[in-house]
Structure 1
Amino acid sequence: MRGTPIAAALVAMGAGALSGCVAAAIPVAAAAGVYKARQDQPKAEKRRKKAAAAAEAPKPGQVYLAPDGTKVQVTAMTALPPPDGVAKPVSASKAPPGMQYLYGSGEAAALSLQAYAALWNYLHVEIGFRRDKSQIRSVVLSPGSTLDNPKFDLCGKRPLAVVLDIDETALLNSGYERDEAIRGTGYDQQRWNRWEASGADKVEAVPGAAEALAAARRDGITVIFNSNRSAATAAQTAAALDHAGLGPAALFETLWLRGEGEPSGKDARREKIAQRYCIVAMVGDQLGDFSDLFNAPDTPVLARRNSVGGTLLAPLWGAGWFLLPNPVYGTGLKGGVDDIFPPDVRWTDPEEKK
Structure 2
Amino acid sequence: MSIRPALAALMAGSVLLSGCVVAALPVIAAAGIGKNAMDGQDGKKRKASKRARQQAAPKPGQVIRTENGTAVITGLTALPPPSGAAPATAKPAVVPPEMQYLYGSGEGSAISLQAYRGLWNFLHNEIGYRRDKSQISSVVLSRGSTLTSPKFDLCGKRKLAVVLDVDETALLNLGFEYDAAAKPAPYDQSKWSRWEQTGAGKVVAVPGAADTLAAARNEGITVIFNSNRSTSSAAQTAAAIEAAGLGPAVLGDTLWLRDDGAPSGKDERRWKISETYCVVAMVGDQLGDFSDLFNTGEYSPAMRRNMTSESLLATLWGAGWFVLPNPVYGSALHGGLDEVFPKDKQWADPAEEKK
Question: TM-score higher than 0.5 here?
Answer: yes
Q: CA RMSD in A?
A: 2.3
What residue is the counterpart of 2:95 in the other structure? 95
Partners of 1:269 and 1:172 lie apart in 2 by 23
Contact 1:158–1:277 (CA<8 Å) still a contact in 2? yes
- 1:301 and 2:301 equivalent? yes
- Listed as ranges, the matches of 1:6-155 within 5 Å are 78=88, 92-155=92-155
What residue is the counterpart of 1:283 in the other structure? 283
- C-alpha displacement of 1:305: 1.1
SS in 1 for 2:139: strand
Aligned residue identity for 1:327: P
Aligned residue identity for 2:123: L
Partners of 1:100 and 1:196 lie apart in 2 by 23
Gaps of 5+ in 1: 1-35, 44-76, 80-89
Aligned residue identity for 1:233: S
1:14-40, CA deviations, whole angstroms, 9 ceiling, x for partnerless residues? xxxxxxxxxxxxxxxxxxxxxx9x98x
Q: Following superposition, which runs of at least 4 residues in structure 1 exceed 2 angstroms of deviation?
A: none
Contact 1:238–1:247 (CA<8 Å) still a contact in 2? no
Aligned residue identity for 2:252: F
Partners of 2:178 and 2:300 lie apart in 1 by 32
- C-alpha displacement of 1:253: 0.4
Q: Could you tell me the percent identity over the aligned residues?
A: 66
Aligned residue identity for 1:232: S
- C-alpha displacement of 1:352: 2.9
Between the two proteins, the alignment pairs up a number of residues equal to: 278
Partners of 2:176 and 2:346 lie apart in 1 by 39
Partners of 1:340 and 1:353 lie apart in 2 by 22
- Listed as ranges, the matches of 1:184-203 within 5 Å are 184-203=184-203
TM-score, L = length of structure 1: 0.75
Contact 1:137–1:280 (CA<8 Å) still a contact in 2? yes
What residue is the counterpart of 1:349 in the other structure? 349
Partners of 2:231 and 2:135 lie apart in 1 by 34
SS in 2 for 1:224: strand
- C-alpha displacement of 1:353: 3.0
Q: Given the superposition, is the C-alpha separation of residues 253 and 91 from structure 1 closer, same or farther in structure 2, using an over 3 Å criterion?
A: farther
SS in 2 for 1:154: coil
- C-alpha displacement of 1:91: 7.8
Contact 2:214–2:247 (CA<8 Å) still a contact in 1? no
1:19-71, CA deviations, whole angstroms, 9 ceiling, x for partnerless residues? xxxxxxxxxxxxxxxxx9x98xx99xxxxxxxxxxxxxxxxxxxxxxxxxxxx
- 1:274 and 2:274 equivalent? yes
Partners of 1:137 and 1:113 lie apart in 2 by 26
SS in 1 for 2:138: strand
Contact 1:200–1:237 (CA<8 Å) still a contact in 2? yes
TM-score, L = length of structure 2: 0.75
SS in 2 for 1:160: strand
Aligned residue identity for 2:109: A
What residue is the counterpart of 1:327 in the other structure? 327
Contact 1:210–1:246 (CA<8 Å) still a contact in 2? yes
What residue is the counterpart of 2:160 in the other structure? 160
SS in 2 for 1:234: helix
Contact 1:133–1:155 (CA<8 Å) still a contact in 2? yes
Partners of 1:225 and 1:91 lie apart in 2 by 40
- 1:176 and 2:161 equivalent? no
1:52-98, CA deviations, whole angstroms, 9 ceiling, x for partnerless residues? xxxxxxxxxxxxxxxxxxxxxxxxx947xxxxxxxxxx882221011
1:117-163, CA deviations, whole angstroms, 9 ceiling, x for partnerless residues? 01011001100010000000000011111111111111111100000
- C-alpha displacement of 1:301: 1.7
